Structure 1
Amino acid sequence: MPILGQNQYGKAETRLLKVTRDGATHHIKDLNVSVALSGDMEDVHLSGSNANVLTTDTTKNTVFAFAKERGVASAEAFGIHLARHFVGSQRSVGTARIRIEEYAWERIETPGKARHSFVRANRETRTAQITFDGSVWQVISGLKDLVVLNTTDSEFHGFVKDRYTTLQETNDRILATQVHARWRHTWQYGDTNNAPDWDESYTATRRHLLTAFADTYSLSLQQTLFRMGARVVDNRPEIAEIRLSLPNKHHFLADLEPFGLKNDNEVYFAADRPYGLIEATVLREGAHAAIPADLTNLP
């Protein structure tokens, strides 16, 4: 006769971003929280009775509410708060297992005063494509998976609305993206000894992309994209064009009102998909576009 063995249930991979605003300086904690509960759960498996079941949606809501009420001092401390709550508040729950991944961010330091701009600490991947036909060189440098985020100085409103529009206008939102960029060098002919300093060019271009992202008060991701590309073209004479692909990594305010809590732009659900995808090329005046529109065709 079959018998029920070890079992657990819960909500996996609740994506949480907690913003702490210390005046103009912001601090963030970016977590992926998975909750698994076990205990007196035989009836739900054997007879379908949910009398002892705390819903997984409730465990997700608890993660967001605790981020507001308790804060996130560390992944460990936050997990301890959650585990104690689940075991202590439900007689049917004997054990709570909380698994947390924390994603590190570094502040983007710019000549300006921005203290709300961040870049993911695990670095991007540098790319290059070189073509030579015996006389003409084409060098396309680039990067991918450069994840950046502004906790403020971003708005989105005044857009077209029709019967299917549900998105609300906002005067203060998180703007985050994963930068994929390719830039074509003006150097085409001659001795390779006269080529640009590729490492210096890459480092400077990356810095200009980050500075423009941090310093732009954004009314749309399209506007931010153009400012990023324009800053590179304006400051790096060796670059003829740059093509940018920016997925909009949406962060939505968690609804804490059902729990009697006010969400003052502090606790966000970090959505995975679907996402907006903004792409464009910024050219030096007089240059012609030569980078393929589909960046997936490049390494």
Structure 2
Amino acid sequence: MSHEKTYDLTWNQYGKAEVRVVHVDRSGPQHVVRDLNVTTGLRGDFEPAYTEGDNSRVLTTDAQKNTVFGLARETGVGEPEAFALAVARQLLSACPSADVARVVVEQYLWNPLSGGGGHAFSRAGSHVVVAELELNRDGAAELTGGVDELVVLKTTDSEYSGFLKERFTTLGETDERILATQVTARWRYAEGAAEGADHAAVKAGALEALLGAFAGHYSLALQQTLHAMGVAVLEACPELAEVTLTLPNKHHFLQDLSAYGLDNPNAVYHADDRPYGLIQGTITRR
């Protein structure tokens, strides 16, 4: 029997998923809560661990978890982008066999409660802030920010017509509909723009642009609205090179009330959670 090698490990990545760390800054009268879900990953020369069980080059996933907690104490937790960069740098420093460190940070937002003495909060449920970083050993970084679970709805200024019709097409055209979606957005920083950027200002500007475009845009299709939202973000944030949006169409169908002897002048809808249209696209600056 031939023992010639016939299989190659062509890609590998390992790390610690969903490290839940909460940091409290008590330095001022109003405490600041940073509530994060951090996932780390390392790519590089780890083939012996996969093919031979040789772990001598492996920085354990437990050590990666501990890095997240340790840096939260040593450096504090500011903007997710900056914390992701600090974690990635530490991981590459600690693991010589790693070529790339990947860090994804999700931030859950908390709002101070008035009358709470600076130490009471309510969970802000509108969206989750996300930062995704890949840092190479040569210092090159690709940074993506974004938001998840941003649910928006408009009750007018949306129609849908003129679409292709064939024998399985049953959807009727409409010049008045509810348009609702749950936005997943990722904006990628231009090369060299991530380092030293005011990430809080970029996030605020991008979010304001997303919401403003959705609210103020007369929609002929969710695809058209996606494009308008992406363009608005790039126009508002010169630090960004591209925006990727995923917009599931949260359908609201006009309910037929004729069986009850009632009309329905665009007043009563049935919210249907599945199946749903899934609209995706990337807008890139030229």
TM bin, normalised by shorter chain, reads 0.5 to 0.7
1:208 pairs with 2:236: no
8 Å contact from structure 2 (residues 193, 239) kept in 1: no
Q: Which amino acid aligns with 2:132?
A: Q
Post-superposition offset of 1:131? 1.4
2:171 to 167, 173, 178: 167
8 Å contact from structure 1 (residues 130, 140) kept in 2: yes
Which residue pairs with 2:131 in the alignment? 128
Q: Which amino acid aligns with 2:144?
A: I
RMSD, aligned CA: 1.4
Task: Provide the rounded CA distance (Å) in 2 between the counterparts of 1:127 and 1:186.
Answer: 17
Task: Provide the rounded CA distance (Å) in 2 between the counterparts of 1:189 and 1:178.
Answer: 28
Which residue pairs with 1:279 in the alignment? 280
Task: Provide the rounded CA distance (Å) in 2 between the counterparts of 1:241 and 1:211.
Answer: 18
1:146 pairs with 2:147: no
8 Å contact from structure 2 (residues 250, 272) kept in 1: yes
1:137 pairs with 2:151: no
Which residue pairs with 1:54 in the alignment? none
Going from structure 1 to structure 2, the CA distance change for 1:189 and 1:137 (only over 3 Å counts) comes to farther
Which residue pairs with 1:44 in the alignment? none
8 Å contact from structure 1 (residues 187, 196) kept in 2: no
Gaps of 5+ in 2: 1-123
8 Å contact from structure 2 (residues 246, 281) kept in 1: yes
Which residue pairs with 2:3 in the alignment? none
Task: Provide the rounded CA distance (Å) in 2 between the counterparts of 1:196 and 1:256.
Answer: 54
Higher relative contact order (Cα pairs below 8 Å, separated by 6+ residues) = 1
Going from structure 1 to structure 2, the CA distance change for 1:164 and 1:270 (only over 3 Å counts) comes to same
Going from structure 1 to structure 2, the CA distance change for 1:259 and 1:135 (only over 3 Å counts) comes to same
In the TM superposition, 1:125-274 aligns within 5 A as 125-133=128-136, 134-188=138-192, 192=195, 195-274=196-275
Going from structure 1 to structure 2, the CA distance change for 1:189 and 1:219 (only over 3 Å counts) comes to closer
Q: Between the two proteins, what is the percent identity of the paired residues?
A: 49
Q: Which amino acid aligns with 1:230?
A: V
Q: Which amino acid aligns with 1:265?
A: N
Post-superposition offset of 1:137? 1.4
Count of matched residue positions in the alignment of Structure 1 and Structure 2: 162
TM-score by length of 2: 0.55
Structure 1 segments, 4+ long, off by >6 Å, are none
Q: Which amino acid aligns with 1:236?
A: C
Task: Provide the rounded CA distance (Å) in 2 between the counterparts of 1:278 and 1:251.
Answer: 16
Task: Provide the rounded CA distance (Å) in 2 between the counterparts of 1:237 and 1:189.
Answer: 9
TM-score by length of 1: 0.53
In the TM superposition, 1:81-120 aligns within 5 A as none
Post-superposition offset of 1:188? 2.7
Cα deviation, 1:51-106, whole Å, max 9, x if unaligned, reads xxxxxxxxxxxxxxxxxxxxxxxxxxxxxxxxxxxxxxxxxxxxxxxxxxxxxxxx
8 Å contact from structure 2 (residues 205, 236) kept in 1: no
Q: Which amino acid aligns with 1:244?
A: L
Task: Provide the rounded CA distance (Å) in 2 between the counterparts of 1:175 and 1:160.
Answer: 20
Q: Which amino acid aligns with 1:124?
A: H
Structure 2 SS opposite 1:123: strand
